[in-house]
Structure 1
């Protein structure tokens, strides 16, 4: 698992997230998913560097 920082998107999402797929982050939320893509930037958190991901779009679960 890789820890990343989430930027943008809904304000109720956690800023830090752990993901198995560092190419694209998909966060489940309210019958859908918030999608984040890597920015190429890193921030320092607790003395280590963490990749920053920016919100790109939302999808809903099909019923």
Structure 2
């Protein structure tokens, strides 16, 4: 059973949500979010931040990839 975890996203393009429910992440794994015709990729920023009383790992935007046609 896959467990979901909430993460905080930072430095993403305009319209990126502040938090995201990601599948359970392994150490060093990136978060990938579908956005329009591509994916926004976020990597662990090696820090944590409090959001709504919950301490979340922070993932920083690193690059975008496009969906092949």
Is TM > 0.5 for Structure 1 vs Structure 2?
yes
Structure 1 stretches lacking a partner, 5+ long: none
Superposed CA RMSD in Å reads 1.0
Superposition pairs for residues 16-55 of structure 1, below 5 Å? 16-22=19-25, 23-55=29-61
Deviation at 1:9, TM superposition (A): 1.9
- TM norm structure 1: 0.92
- Residue 61, structure 1, aligned to residue 38, structure 2: no
Deviation at 1:21, TM superposition (A): 4.3
- TM norm structure 2: 0.84
Structure 2 stretches lacking a partner, 5+ long: none
